[in-house]
Amino acid sequence: MNKTKWLFLGFILSFLCLVSGIGLLFVGALGQNEAMLLTALYLIVIGSCMDAILVIVGLRIYLKARVEK
């Protein structure tokens, strides 16, 4: 149960990272601010990588628990 709690919190953090990146992307595009656009792209890339890592870890935990049954 402890691992699933951390996975859930990680998904929330990566989702917030993606949402803030998308929001900054729109604000940076409206104001034509390059620094904001780069920050938004970094946030989107970091959030996507975190999602991919968490999905892989979650699948490993699920499959390990399924095999142990």
Burial of 31 (0-12, 13-18, 19+ CB in 10 A): exposed
Q: What is the mean pLDDT of each run of 10 residues along the chain (69 residues)?
A: 78 86 85 84 88 88 82
Domain count of the chain?
A: 1
Q: Residue 30 has what pLDDT?
A: 84
CA distance 2 to 52: 20
Q: Which pLDDT score is estimated for 1?
A: 58
Q: Is 32 left (phi over 0), alpha (psi -120 to 50) or beta?
A: left
- Amino acid occupying residue 4: T
Question: Domain span at residue 45?
Answer: 2-68
